[in-house]
Amino acid sequence: MSATGQAGGRSKSTGQAGGRSKSTGQAGGRSKSAAGAPLSERITEAMAEAGGDPETDADRLRRGLRRGWFFSAIWLVYLFDPVRTIVESDVSVARRATALLSLVLFAATYLLSFAEFRSRIAKGPIASPSRQWMLLGALVILLVPAAPVARESILAGGVYIAVMAVFTLPLAQAAVVIAASAAAFVVLPRIVPGWSADDGTVLSLLVASLAAWGVGQLIVRNIELQRARQRIADLAVVEERERLGRDVHDILGHTLTVITVKAELAGRLVDLDPLRATREIAEVEALARTALSDVRATVGGLRTVTLDVELIHARTALDAAGIDLVLIGAATDAESNFREVFAWTVRESVTNVVRHSGASRCCITVEPSRIEIVDDGKGSDPGDDTGNGLRGLRHRADRAGTVLTAGAAGGGFRVIVEAP
């Protein structure tokens, strides 16, 4: 009863979506608890791994736990029946006063026990089972003085004891408490003179215990769900950072390579052909401005590449490096869903040709579901096909549902991206 109400409050607090967790995203998640571990211990483990950010769902749960005394107190209303029985009994005032005091102490101990339970969940560590057994024993003892006056209605206290056991003891030990309480509900009314048997109270005991266990499971699952959502969010952040790194690498790598080649060419032409050198310097300035704009667009998530534009840039870069371009096909020959990954392929491959190949000729072949870039340069050195650029290109190809093949080809180097 009591735990159902107060745990329900915690469930409500835990179930609220939102609030970013400071989850570490460590592989493996929380350490696996034994199936029979106390619910309090499992809740504490889950909350500890949900992180310490003030805005996390776990911290909302902690705040709810600190206010949980109210929910615990609400369920004390079910002690009204034994109180009424004591007040209406025809025993002496002293016995009635003793019985009422016993129930007051029972209620106070119950509230203090759950207050400590909530505090330990919020702060940790969980008290040992032996301490919990002592608290449960104290509750049983406090019911004894009231039993002769309250008669069978005193059994309502057994429900509180069973529910507390569900929350604070390992499952096997809690089952012992529930079984003992159920036995008391059945046996005591039949052997104590003046008590009336009501087997329906056993069902109430079992339902309340099952409800408490279910609420505890719900709390744990809600915290685990929140942590799983946070891991997904963290992975999305990592993925976005990797995407940004690939884009910046590809954009600056290509553009700076062309700028370097054109600047070297302009330096050689200053004395031989000043007018052309001036044009090359103007193009270097334009490329630098374009690179700055591209970086800004990439950071803002607005950068896109198109195959037709990249083919034009490829010709410009190869011409500046003195490499002949042979283009077979056109951008429009490629299927639309492959054009972006083909554009990145042209950008990265041509950058590598200009930088590393020492080639005199580069051939780009565009087909509907395949693109090939091959040069007649020096080929690849060991490890050349695993650089950052090709590694990023392989990731793009995988995401586009295509396959990247890169390696030496008859003295040169070949890059192929094609549909499987």
How confident is the model at residue 37, as a pLDDT? 57
How buried is 181 (Cβ within 10 angstroms: 0-12 exposed, 13-18 middle, 19+ buried)? buried
Q: Which of 328, 349, 358 is nearest to 394 (CA)?
A: 349
Q: Which two tokens stand for residue 272?
A: 């031989």
CA dist 53 and 20 (Å) reads 8
pLDDT at 217 over 70: yes
pLDDT band at 5, cuts 50/70/90?
Answer: very low
In this structure, of 80-84, 123-127, 295-299, the range with the lowest mean pLDDT score is 123-127
CA dist 44 and 119 (Å) reads 11
Q: Which of 162-166, 319-323, 412-416 has the largest mean confidence?
A: 412-416
Better-scored residue on pLDDT, 149 or 305? 149
pLDDT tens track for 173-196: 888 989 998 888 888 888 888 888
Q: Which two tokens stand for residue 132?
A: 């919990």
Better-scored residue on pLDDT, 93 or 124? 93
- Its pTM stands at 0.46
Which residues, in sequence order, are CB contacts of 10 under 8 Å at separation 6+?
61, 64, 65, 68, 215, 219
How confident is the model at residue 66, as a pLDDT? 52
- φ, ψ of residue 416 to 5 degrees: the values are -130, 130
pLDDT band at 97, cuts 50/70/90?
Answer: very high
Q: Average pLDDT, stretch 377-405?
A: 75
The H-or-E segment that residue 146 falls in is none
| Percent residues over pLDDT 70 in the chain | 72
Q: Average pLDDT, stretch 37-58?
A: 52
Other CB atoms within a 10 A radius of the CB of residue 235 amount to: 11
For residue 127, what is the DSSP state?
A: P
Which residues, in sequence order, are CB contacts of 387 under 8 Å at separation 6+?
none
Q: Which of 341, 291, 283 is nearest to 316 (CA)?
A: 283
Other CB atoms within a 10 A radius of the CB of residue 289 amount to: 10
| Cα dist from 349 to 35, 232, 315, 361, whole Å | 55, 33, 12, 13
CA dist 105 and 123 (Å) reads 26
The H-or-E segment that residue 374 falls in is strand 370-375
Residue 175 CA from chain centroid, whole number:
34
pLDDT tens track for 237-279: 777 677 677 777 666 776 777 788 878 888 888 878 888 888 8
- Quickly list DSSP for 237-303: HHHHHHHHHHHHHHHHHHHHHHHHHHHHHHHHHHHH-HHHHHHHHHHHHHHHHHHHHHHHHHHTT--
Task: Note whether 72 and 2 are within 8 A (CB).
Answer: yes
What is the chain's mean pLDDT, rounded?
76
Residue 364 CA from chain centroid, whole number:
44
For residue 368, what is the DSSP state?
A: T
| Percent residues over pLDDT 90 in the chain | 13
Find the farthest-apart pair of alpha carbons in the chain and give their distance in angstroms, rounded: 124
Q: Which of 190, 238, 196 is nearest to 395 (CA)?
A: 238
How confident is the model at residue 151, as a pLDDT? 87
pLDDT at 404 over 80: yes
pLDDT band at 282, cuts 50/70/90?
Answer: confident
How confident is the model at residue 11, as a pLDDT? 39
pLDDT at 208 over 50: yes
How confident is the model at residue 42, as a pLDDT? 58
pLDDT at 12 over 80: no
pLDDT at 380 over 80: no
pLDDT at 225 over 70: yes
How confident is the model at residue 58, as a pLDDT? 47
How confident is the model at residue 121, as a pLDDT? 56
pLDDT at 29 over 50: no
pLDDT at 25 over 70: no
Identify the bridge partners of residue 327 per DSSP, sorted by sequence position: 364
Q: Average pLDDT, stretch 291-315?
A: 74
Edge-to-edge strand list for the sheet holding 361-367: 324-328, 361-367, 370-375, 412-418, 403-409
